[in-house]
Amino acid sequence: MSPLALNALICLCACPDRDVAARIAETLVGERLAACVNLLPGVTSVYRWQGTVERADEVLLLIKTAPARLQALTARIVALHPYELPEVIAVESAGGLPAYLDWIAQETSVEPQP
């Protein structure tokens, strides 16, 4: 495992539909802000918004990235997302397959590794 791959982040972001989710996912990977994004359809969210309990069918993004890319990734989601307050929650991984963690680090590096 390279020194880059000490840990990874898994970020959660709920999207209103598959088209929005796919557009955000492809942008994040294309811009090297994420190594991989899984789109999980069929999520129902229940939340309080502006004093009212709401319910929405959404697509959840599971975004794998490096800690150094979190700030830029968050800013990009805010710019692309149609919600006034998009969900961006980052969870640090406790470990993982070293080669996979190294791959995340390489794919999100500003300067791609050979």
Rounded average pLDDT over 62-79: 97
d(C-alpha 20, C-alpha 2), whole Å: 34
Tell me the two tokens of residue 103.
Answer: 């791959």
Global pTM value: 0.90
Q: What is the distance between the terminal CA atoms of the chain, rounded to a whole angstrom?
A: 15
CATH assignment of 14-107, given 3.40.30.10, 3.30.70.120, 3.30.1490.20, 3.40.50.12280? 3.30.70.120
Domain edges within the chain: 14-107
List, edge to edge, every strand of the sheet that includes 9-15: 36-49, 52-65, 9-15, 89-92
The fraction of the chain above a pLDDT of 70, given in percent, is 92
Tell me how many degrees the CA angle 24-76-33 measures, rounded to the nearest 5.
75
